Amino acid sequence: MTDLSSFDTPSYEEFAEGYFLTRRLMEFFRDHYLASPKDGRNHHASPLLAPDLRGLPPALIITAECDPLRDEGEAYAKRLEEAGVPVTCTRYAGMIHPFFTMPAVTPRALEAIEQIALAIRGAQSGNL
C-alpha cells in the first residue's frame, strides 16, 4: 500500500473481488488504520503522495499481476525512478497478492524469494 487516499486505479477495478485480496478488505484495513479518511492524503500514510522522494535508499518493488495493489506499487516505483532512486520493479504475471507466501503452491513464489535474497545480498555488499 502506497496510497491510502484513493482506491481509484485500474487494478482496484479489475481485481476488486475474486483474487484473494479484495477492495472491500483494503477499505476495511484503511478504515482501521487511519483516524480519518482524510489522513490518507498525508504522505506519511501514503508515500506515493510524498512531494519529494529523492535521497531514499534503493528499492525492490514486487507486484502481483492480479492484485488490487499492483498499480499503486508500480506508480511508486516510477516516482522513485523519476527521483533518481535506484529501483527494481518486477511484476509477477498471473500471481495474486499473497503468492510470495505460497512456495508450496507456486514456483513463482520461490523466484520472488530468490529475487529478494539477491537484492539483500547486493545491498549488504554495496552492489545495489
81 with 87: CB under 8 angstroms? yes
Buried b (16+ CB within 10 A) or exposed e, 87-119: bbbeebeebbbebbeeeeebebbebbeeeeeeb
Q: What's the N-to-C CA distance of the chain in angstroms?
A: 24
Q: Where are the domains of the chain?
A: 10-125
If you classify domain 10-125 with CATH, what class do you get? Answer: alpha beta
pLDDT > 80? residue 52: yes
Q: How far apart are CA 99 and CA 106, in angstroms?
A: 7
76 with 61: CB under 8 angstroms? yes
pLDDT tens column, 101-123: 999 999 999 999 999 999 999 98
Q: Which residues contact 29 (CB under 8 A, 6 or more apart)?
A: 1
Considering the entire predicted model, what is its pTM? 0.92
Please report which confidence band the pLDDT of residue 6 belongs to, taking 50, 70 and 90 as the band edges: very high
Q: How far apart are CA 121 and CA 127, in angstroms?
A: 8
* pLDDT in the model for residue 127: 67
pLDDT tens column, 18-37: 999 999 999 999 999 999 98
* pLDDT in the model for residue 126: 75
pLDDT tens column, 54-95: 999 999 999 999 999 999 999 999 999 999 999 999 999 999
4 with 43: CB under 8 angstroms? no
* pLDDT in the model for residue 57: 95
* pLDDT in the model for residue 124: 86
* pLDDT in the model for residue 31: 95
Q: What single-letter DSSP state applies at residue 99?
A: G
